[in-house]
Amino acid sequence: MKKPKPRSRLVRYLLGLFSLFLCRALTRFSVEGKQNLPKKGPYILAPNHTDDVDPAPITAAIIKPITYLMAEDQAKLPWYKAWGPWSYGVMLVNRSNLQISTIKNIQRQILKKEIICIFPEGTVKGEGLKRGKKGVAYFAIKNEIPIIPTGVIGTRGILKKIKTRQRENVKVVFGSPILTKSGDDIEKITEKVMQEIKKLLPPDY
């Protein structure tokens, strides 16, 4: 089965506007640190991950086309596999068997000066901030592009709360860029990314 690729920039730009509308209508939505975002790509967003809906507030916060990387085993529902890539620009990745074609597709998006979003924890399971995986650092160092640590706050279990008409506080916080260059240590950059994400989150996260 051929894996779907991110749709056009126009589709994803319009989705950003739609996401902003939804976030403002259904939650108390706010954004901090937009001054830390480069004016244009390529760069990598590295957010914490607490709920499957996390791409919505991130997209709403930037309103620019973003390519999201997502583990295939996290896209459990067939409708999401079809709808996610079409709308949010999701690229499904097999974590246990990362194929050369997948790496090439990611590289292609970076060469197009895309904004790439990789959740370094790789899962929404578990409490608190989990150990980061190396993908963020790998692609940043390989292409010498900045990493933007990102905090997503208030999304855990948000759909259930919306169904009961609770308007939760949802916030996206962008931290200072982490600059990378060829030869940087992947382990150290990964550790730094997770440290900077932690600084953006509440103490009781």
Phi then psi dihedrals of residue 43, to 5 deg: -155, 165
128-157 tens-digit pLDDT: 899 999 999 999 999 999 999 999 999 988
The residue-averaged pLDDT of 5-31 equals 82
Phi then psi dihedrals of residue 193, to 5 deg: -55, -45
Cis bond upstream, residue 42 (ω within 30): yes
Q: Which two tokens stand for residue 171?
A: 């916030």
CB contact at 8 A, 84 and 158:
no
Question: What pLDDT, on a 0 to 100 scale, did the predictor assign at position 162?
Answer: 81
63-122 tens-digit pLDDT: 888 888 877 766 665 545 555 555 556 777 776 667 787 888 889 889 999 999 999 998
3-state helix, strand, coil in the chain (%, to 5): 40, 20, 40
Instruction: State the Cα angle at 20 between 19 and 21, rounded to 5°.
Output: 90
Mean residue pLDDT across the chain: 86
Kindly report which listed range (15-19, 41-45, 180-184) carries the lowest average pLDDT score: 15-19
Please determine, for residue 1, whether its predicted confidence score (pLDDT) is greater than 50: no
- Strand order through the sheet with 115-118: 28-32, 169-174, 147-153, 43-47, 115-118, 66-71, 90-93
Q: Is 170 helix (H, G, I), strand (E, B) or coil?
A: strand
Q: What is the DSSP letter of 178?
A: B
Question: What pLDDT, on a 0 to 100 scale, did the predictor assign at position 79?
Answer: 47
In angstroms, the CA 102 to CA 70 distance is 12
Phi then psi dihedrals of residue 173, to 5 deg: -120, 125
Question: What pLDDT, on a 0 to 100 scale, did the predictor assign at position 124?
Answer: 82
CB contact at 8 A, 203 and 176:
no
